[in-house]
Amino acid sequence: MIRGHVGWVALCCLALGGNACTPRNTTPEQKPAPEQKENPAVATTLECSLSVPPTLKAGQPVEARFQLTNRTAQPLFVLKWRTPLEGRLLGNDFAITRDGTEIPYQGPMAKRANPGADSYVAIAPGASVEAKVELSLAYELTQPGRYRIAFRNELLDVADKQADVPRIMDQFRPMPVQCPAVETTITAP
């Protein structure tokens, strides 16, 4: 008999508790992400190019030249991280294949704190910045074959005002950049 009363009491509590029949949102309320202001002029006018020697002998360094050109009428401030503008590879920043087979990245991976102002490069209107990076230090490029090399990363942060940099990581404004892939043939020594 006690069991029957407990069931009725529980049922009454649920009914009187209000919202007893409506589902509850059990996931925490998510705040909208900070608004990412996008500057369409910036997003379409930073040009990227990549070049490598057309042929190399196995064992020779494979050096890629990476260039960004500012096609806007204002200076742009680009975070150098995860680009050859850093002067060395610190992540899997290139998609490289040999005769259609992917070559895995074997170099260092960097974990970082927020950037400083020196982590950005200013590119004046109409100007270019470029850097060379030795790909064979981080990718196995010693086998003869046809290699296809493409820059895979977007630019992690691009600003059009110097006062906006440096930014903390959760305020980065990334920008995709189309950098046409290049090819080289590595021949036997």
State the pairing for strand pair 145-151/94-98: antiparallel
pLDDT of 32 over the 50 cut: no
Average pLDDT on 48-59 reads: 97
Query: What is the reported pLDDT for 153?
Result: 73
pLDDT of 108 over the 90 cut: yes
Q: Give CA–CA dist 154/177, Å, rounded.
A: 6
Q: Which two tokens stand for residue 41?
A: 């002029």
Average pLDDT on 100-120 reads: 96
Q: Which of 86, 94, 81 is nearest to 156 (CA)?
A: 81
Q: Give CA–CA dist 160/158, Å, rounded.
A: 7
Query: What is the reported pLDDT for 130?
Result: 97
Q: Which fold has domain 40-187?
A: Immunoglobulin-like (2.60.40)
Query: What is the reported pLDDT for 4?
Result: 52
Question: Using an 8 Å Cβ cutoff, are 46 and 85 in contact?
Answer: no
Query: How far is residue 84 CA from its own chain's centroid?
Result: 13
- Per-residue pLDDT tens digits for 128-173: 999 999 999 999 999 999 999 999 878 999 999 999 999 999 999 9
Question: Using an 8 Å Cβ cutoff, are 158 and 173 in contact?
Answer: yes
Mean residue pLDDT across the chain: 84
pLDDT class for 27, splitting at 50, 70, 90?
Answer: very low
Query: What is the reported pLDDT for 120?
Result: 98
Query: What is the reported pLDDT for 65?
Result: 98
Query: What is the reported pLDDT for 24?
Result: 41
Residue bearing tokens 């407990």: 6
pLDDT class for 44, splitting at 50, 70, 90?
Answer: low
- Which comes out higher in pLDDT, residue 7 or 189? 189
pLDDT of 105 over the 90 cut: yes
pLDDT class for 22, splitting at 50, 70, 90?
Answer: very low
